[in-house]
Homo-oligomer: A and B are copies of this chain.
Amino acid sequence: MTERQPRKDAARNRAAALAAADTLFTRCRSPEEITMADIAAAAGVGKGTLFRAFGDRTGLIRALYATRLEPLRQAIEQGPPPLGPHTPPLQRVPALLDALLTFKLDNRHLATALESAGADSPYRTDHYAHWHALLRDLLEQIPGLADAGFTAHALLAATRADLVGHLADDARTPRETMRRQLADLTTRLLDAPAPRSPAAGD
Interface set of A (CB-CB < 8 Å, partner B): 30, 32-33, 90-91, 94, 112, 116, 119-124, 146-147, 150-151, 153-154, 157-158, 160, 162-163, 165-167, 170, 178, 180-185, 187-192, 194-195, 198, 200, 202
The chain B residue sitting closest to A183, CB to CB, is: B198
Secondary structure at chain A's binding surface: helix, strand, loop or mixed? helix
State whether A185 and B154 are in contact (beta carbons under 8 Å apart), knowing that A32-B119, A180-B198, A200-B91 are contacts in the complex.
Answer: yes
**B-chain residues with CB within 8 Å of residue A189 when the two chains form the complex:** 185, 188-189, 192
In the assembled complex, 30 residue pairs joining A and B whose CB atoms fall closer than 8 Å, in A order, are: A32-B119, A91-B200, A94-B200, A116-B116, A121-B162, A123-B163, A123-B165, A124-B166, A124-B170, A147-B181, A147-B184, A153-B158, A154-B154, A154-B158, A154-B185, A157-B157, A157-B160, A180-B198, A183-B198, A184-B194, A184-B198, A185-B189, A187-B195, A187-B198, A187-B200, A188-B188, A188-B194, A189-B189, A189-B192, A190-B200
